[in-house]
Amino acid sequence: MHFSVRSAWSIFIREIMRALRTVFQSIIAPVLTTSLYFIVFGAAIGARMPDLGGVDYGAFIIPGLLMLTLLGETTSNASFGIYMPRFTGTIYELLSAPVGVGETLAGFVGAAAVKSLILAAIILLTARLFVDYSIAHPVLAVIYIVLVAASFSLFGFILGVWADNFEKLGIIPLLFLTPLTFLGGTFYSIDMLPEPWDTIALFNPIVYLVSGLRWTFYGSADVDIWISFAITLGFLATCIAIIATIFKTGWRLRA
Protein backbone atom coordinates (compact mmCIF):
# COMPACT_ATOMS: atom_id res chain seq x y z
CA MET A 1 0.00 0.00 0.00
CA HIS A 2 1.27 3.44 -0.96
CA PHE A 3 1.47 6.22 1.55
CA SER A 4 3.00 9.61 0.86
CA VAL A 5 4.08 11.24 4.11
CA ARG A 6 4.57 14.56 2.31
CA SER A 7 1.03 14.59 0.95
CA ALA A 8 -0.46 13.70 4.32
CA TRP A 9 1.71 16.28 6.08
CA SER A 10 0.65 18.99 3.61
CA ILE A 11 -3.02 18.33 4.29
CA PHE A 12 -2.42 18.15 8.03
CA ILE A 13 -0.53 21.46 8.18
CA ARG A 14 -3.09 23.20 6.03
CA GLU A 15 -5.91 22.04 8.28
CA ILE A 16 -4.03 23.24 11.35
CA MET A 17 -3.39 26.60 9.65
CA ARG A 18 -7.07 26.86 8.88
CA ALA A 19 -7.86 26.31 12.55
CA LEU A 20 -5.37 28.97 13.58
CA ARG A 21 -7.46 31.56 11.75
CA THR A 22 -10.15 31.10 14.36
CA VAL A 23 -7.84 30.28 17.23
CA PHE A 24 -9.29 32.87 19.58
CA GLN A 25 -12.77 31.47 19.21
CA SER A 26 -11.50 27.90 19.47
CA ILE A 27 -9.94 28.62 22.85
CA ILE A 28 -12.36 31.06 24.34
CA ALA A 29 -15.49 29.00 23.59
CA PRO A 30 -14.50 25.86 25.53
CA VAL A 31 -13.07 27.92 28.40
CA LEU A 32 -16.32 29.81 28.66
CA THR A 33 -18.69 26.83 28.40
CA THR A 34 -16.62 24.72 30.80
CA SER A 35 -16.62 27.56 33.31
CA LEU A 36 -20.38 27.95 33.01
CA TYR A 37 -20.98 24.25 33.59
CA PHE A 38 -18.77 24.32 36.66
CA ILE A 39 -20.43 27.37 38.09
CA VAL A 40 -23.91 25.90 37.59
CA PHE A 41 -23.39 22.18 38.16
CA GLY A 42 -20.21 22.17 40.16
CA ALA A 43 -20.69 25.06 42.54
CA ALA A 44 -24.45 25.77 42.67
CA ILE A 45 -25.90 22.26 42.40
CA GLY A 46 -22.83 20.20 43.29
CA ALA A 47 -22.70 21.72 46.77
CA ARG A 48 -26.00 19.98 47.57
CA MET A 49 -25.03 16.66 45.95
CA PRO A 50 -23.59 13.68 47.80
CA ASP A 51 -20.30 12.18 46.64
CA LEU A 52 -20.75 9.67 43.81
CA GLY A 53 -18.73 6.50 44.25
CA GLY A 54 -16.49 8.36 46.65
CA VAL A 55 -15.86 11.17 44.15
CA ASP A 56 -16.84 14.76 44.85
CA TYR A 57 -19.64 15.79 42.44
CA GLY A 58 -17.62 18.67 40.96
CA ALA A 59 -14.83 16.25 40.09
CA PHE A 60 -17.30 13.55 39.02
CA ILE A 61 -18.64 15.64 36.15
CA ILE A 62 -15.21 16.48 34.65
CA PRO A 63 -14.90 13.37 32.41
CA GLY A 64 -18.52 13.75 31.29
CA LEU A 65 -18.06 17.41 30.55
CA LEU A 66 -14.85 16.69 28.69
CA MET A 67 -16.63 14.05 26.63
CA LEU A 68 -19.56 16.38 25.91
CA THR A 69 -17.38 19.10 24.45
CA LEU A 70 -14.96 16.67 22.81
CA LEU A 71 -17.62 14.74 20.90
CA GLY A 72 -19.41 17.84 19.69
CA GLU A 73 -16.35 19.82 18.68
CA THR A 74 -14.48 16.89 17.13
CA THR A 75 -17.45 15.83 15.05
CA SER A 76 -18.18 19.32 13.79
CA ASN A 77 -14.51 20.11 13.17
CA ALA A 78 -13.93 17.00 11.12
CA SER A 79 -17.22 17.22 9.26
CA PHE A 80 -16.62 20.83 8.24
CA GLY A 81 -13.05 19.97 7.25
CA ILE A 82 -14.27 17.74 4.42
CA TYR A 83 -17.71 19.26 3.79
CA MET A 84 -16.39 22.73 2.96
CA PRO A 85 -14.07 21.56 0.13
CA ARG A 86 -16.98 19.60 -1.32
CA PHE A 87 -19.26 22.61 -1.00
CA THR A 88 -16.82 25.13 -2.49
CA GLY A 89 -15.40 22.76 -5.09
CA THR A 90 -11.83 22.86 -3.81
CA ILE A 91 -12.02 19.10 -3.39
CA TYR A 92 -11.04 18.85 -7.06
CA GLU A 93 -7.44 19.29 -6.01
CA LEU A 94 -7.54 16.45 -3.53
CA LEU A 95 -9.26 14.14 -6.00
CA SER A 96 -6.84 14.94 -8.80
CA ALA A 97 -3.78 14.48 -6.58
CA PRO A 98 -1.98 11.16 -6.14
CA VAL A 99 -3.40 10.74 -2.64
CA GLY A 100 -5.61 7.99 -1.37
CA VAL A 101 -7.61 7.20 1.72
CA GLY A 102 -4.49 6.88 3.89
CA GLU A 103 -3.10 10.36 3.26
CA THR A 104 -6.54 11.97 3.36
CA LEU A 105 -7.39 10.45 6.71
CA ALA A 106 -3.98 11.10 8.20
CA GLY A 107 -4.26 14.73 7.12
CA PHE A 108 -7.87 15.63 7.84
CA VAL A 109 -8.60 13.28 10.71
CA GLY A 110 -5.16 13.71 12.21
CA ALA A 111 -5.63 17.47 12.29
CA ALA A 112 -9.13 17.17 13.75
CA ALA A 113 -7.82 14.80 16.41
CA VAL A 114 -4.94 17.10 17.33
CA LYS A 115 -7.34 20.01 17.69
CA SER A 116 -9.46 17.85 19.96
CA LEU A 117 -6.51 16.98 22.16
CA ILE A 118 -5.67 20.65 22.56
CA LEU A 119 -9.31 21.27 23.37
CA ALA A 120 -9.25 18.52 26.00
CA ALA A 121 -6.17 20.07 27.60
CA ILE A 122 -7.86 23.47 27.71
CA ILE A 123 -10.95 21.99 29.36
CA LEU A 124 -8.93 20.11 31.95
CA LEU A 125 -6.94 23.24 32.78
CA THR A 126 -10.12 25.30 33.09
CA ALA A 127 -11.65 22.64 35.36
CA ARG A 128 -8.62 22.98 37.61
CA LEU A 129 -9.67 26.52 38.39
CA PHE A 130 -12.91 25.26 39.91
CA VAL A 131 -12.26 21.80 41.27
CA ASP A 132 -9.34 20.02 42.77
CA TYR A 133 -8.98 16.66 41.06
CA SER A 134 -6.31 14.12 40.27
CA ILE A 135 -6.23 11.55 37.49
CA ALA A 136 -5.80 7.95 38.63
CA HIS A 137 -4.51 6.54 35.33
CA PRO A 138 -3.10 9.50 33.36
CA VAL A 139 -1.53 7.40 30.58
CA LEU A 140 -4.72 5.45 30.00
CA ALA A 141 -6.67 8.69 30.15
CA VAL A 142 -4.56 10.20 27.36
CA ILE A 143 -4.82 7.02 25.28
CA TYR A 144 -8.55 6.98 25.81
CA ILE A 145 -8.95 10.63 24.82
CA VAL A 146 -6.83 10.04 21.70
CA LEU A 147 -8.98 7.05 20.76
CA VAL A 148 -12.20 8.95 21.23
CA ALA A 149 -10.85 11.99 19.37
CA ALA A 150 -9.73 9.81 16.45
CA SER A 151 -13.01 7.88 16.34
CA PHE A 152 -15.17 10.97 16.30
CA SER A 153 -12.93 12.69 13.78
CA LEU A 154 -13.57 9.72 11.52
CA PHE A 155 -17.25 9.86 12.34
CA GLY A 156 -17.28 13.58 11.53
CA PHE A 157 -15.48 12.86 8.27
CA ILE A 158 -18.21 10.41 7.27
CA LEU A 159 -20.83 12.95 8.25
CA GLY A 160 -19.11 15.61 6.14
CA VAL A 161 -19.02 13.31 3.13
CA TRP A 162 -22.61 12.17 3.59
CA ALA A 163 -24.16 15.60 4.11
CA ASP A 164 -25.23 17.34 0.94
CA ASN A 165 -26.43 20.49 2.64
CA PHE A 166 -25.69 22.48 5.77
CA GLU A 167 -28.83 21.27 7.48
CA LYS A 168 -27.79 17.63 7.34
CA LEU A 169 -24.37 18.64 8.57
CA GLY A 170 -25.84 20.16 11.70
CA ILE A 171 -28.66 17.73 12.33
CA ILE A 172 -26.71 14.66 13.43
CA PRO A 173 -24.84 16.41 16.25
CA LEU A 174 -28.01 18.23 17.26
CA LEU A 175 -30.48 15.34 17.12
CA PHE A 176 -28.29 12.44 18.15
CA LEU A 177 -24.95 13.35 19.60
CA THR A 178 -25.96 16.01 22.11
CA PRO A 179 -29.00 14.16 23.53
CA LEU A 180 -27.13 10.87 23.75
CA THR A 181 -24.25 12.56 25.50
CA PHE A 182 -26.50 14.31 28.00
CA LEU A 183 -28.32 11.02 28.63
CA GLY A 184 -25.01 9.18 28.71
CA GLY A 185 -24.17 9.87 32.32
CA THR A 186 -22.40 13.15 31.83
CA PHE A 187 -23.77 14.70 34.99
CA TYR A 188 -24.90 11.60 36.86
CA SER A 189 -24.14 7.96 37.39
CA ILE A 190 -26.52 5.71 35.46
CA ASP A 191 -27.34 3.70 38.59
CA MET A 192 -29.07 6.82 39.83
CA LEU A 193 -31.67 6.11 37.11
CA PRO A 194 -34.82 4.16 38.06
CA GLU A 195 -35.70 0.87 36.38
CA PRO A 196 -36.09 0.48 33.35
CA TRP A 197 -34.07 3.53 32.39
CA ASP A 198 -30.82 2.21 33.78
CA THR A 199 -31.11 -0.82 31.45
CA ILE A 200 -32.17 1.28 28.49
CA ALA A 201 -29.19 3.56 29.13
CA LEU A 202 -26.87 0.62 28.40
CA PHE A 203 -27.99 0.79 24.75
CA ASN A 204 -26.57 4.27 24.52
CA PRO A 205 -23.00 3.91 23.21
CA ILE A 206 -21.97 7.22 24.75
CA VAL A 207 -22.53 5.73 28.22
CA TYR A 208 -19.52 3.49 27.60
CA LEU A 209 -17.37 6.38 26.42
CA VAL A 210 -18.15 8.57 29.40
CA SER A 211 -17.83 5.66 31.77
CA GLY A 212 -14.50 4.60 30.28
CA LEU A 213 -13.03 8.04 30.63
CA ARG A 214 -14.37 8.34 34.15
CA TRP A 215 -12.68 5.08 35.03
CA THR A 216 -9.29 6.37 33.84
CA PHE A 217 -9.84 9.42 36.05
CA TYR A 218 -11.13 7.88 39.26
CA GLY A 219 -10.59 4.11 38.95
CA SER A 220 -14.31 3.32 39.18
CA ALA A 221 -17.19 3.64 36.76
CA ASP A 222 -20.61 2.37 35.69
CA VAL A 223 -19.28 -0.24 33.26
CA ASP A 224 -16.11 -2.25 33.06
CA ILE A 225 -13.20 -0.30 31.53
CA TRP A 226 -12.40 -3.07 29.04
CA ILE A 227 -15.93 -3.09 27.71
CA SER A 228 -15.56 0.66 27.21
CA PHE A 229 -12.27 0.21 25.40
CA ALA A 230 -13.67 -2.57 23.23
CA ILE A 231 -16.67 -0.49 22.23
CA THR A 232 -14.49 2.52 21.41
CA LEU A 233 -12.18 0.38 19.27
CA GLY A 234 -15.14 -1.24 17.58
CA PHE A 235 -16.55 2.18 16.70
CA LEU A 236 -13.13 3.27 15.38
CA ALA A 237 -12.82 0.16 13.20
CA THR A 238 -16.36 0.59 11.84
CA CYS A 239 -15.65 4.20 10.87
CA ILE A 240 -12.41 3.23 9.10
CA ALA A 241 -14.20 0.49 7.17
CA ILE A 242 -16.94 2.89 6.07
CA ILE A 243 -14.40 5.48 4.94
CA ALA A 244 -12.36 2.91 3.02
CA THR A 245 -15.56 1.95 1.19
CA ILE A 246 -16.37 5.60 0.49
CA PHE A 247 -12.98 6.11 -1.13
CA LYS A 248 -13.16 2.91 -3.08
CA THR A 249 -16.54 3.70 -4.59
CA GLY A 250 -16.09 7.47 -4.74
CA TRP A 251 -19.51 7.84 -3.10
CA ARG A 252 -20.38 11.55 -2.75
CA LEU A 253 -16.81 12.46 -3.68
CA ARG A 254 -16.64 11.73 -7.40
CA ALA A 255 -19.42 12.44 -9.90
Partners of 52 in beta bridges:
55
Residue (9 or 188) nearer to other proteins, CB: 9
Q: Does the footprint of other proteins cover residue 75 (CB under 8 A)?
A: no
Annotate 157-189 with b (16+ C-beta within 10 A) or e (fewer): bbbbbbbeeeeebeebbeeebeebbebbbbbbb
Residue (48 or 254) nearer to other proteins, CB: 254
Under 8 Å between Cβ of 213 and 66 = yes
Residue (114 or 146) nearer to other proteins, CB: 114
What single DSSP character describes residue 221?
-
Please name the residue ranges forming H helices in 38-137. 57-88, 91-96, 101-104, 110-130
The binder of other proteins chosen from 27, 28, 32, 95 (CB under 8 A): 95
Amino acid identity for residue 125 in this structure: L
Q: Does the footprint of other proteins cover residue 97 (CB under 8 A)?
A: yes
> 148: helix, coil or strand?
helix
Q: Which stretch binds other proteins (CB under 8 A): 84-92, 159-167, 191-199, 222-230?
A: 84-92
Q: Judge residue 98's burial from the number of C-beta atoms within 10 Å of its C-beta, 0-12 exposed, 13-18 middle, 19 or more buried.
A: exposed
For the CB of residue 45, give the shortest distance to other proteins in the complex, in Å.
42
> 55: helix, coil or strand?
strand
Size of the residue set binding other proteins (CB under 8 A): 27
For the CB of residue 122, give the shortest distance to other proteins in the complex, in Å.
24
For the CB of residue 93, give the shortest distance to other proteins in the complex, in Å.
7
Residues between 235 and 254 that touch other proteins (CB under 8 A): 250, 254
Q: Which stretch binds other proteins (CB under 8 A): 6-14, 39-47, 189-197, 220-228?
A: 6-14
* Positions in the binding site for other proteins (CB under 8 A): 2, 4, 6-7, 9-11, 13-14, 17-18, 21, 88-90, 92-100, 250, 254-255
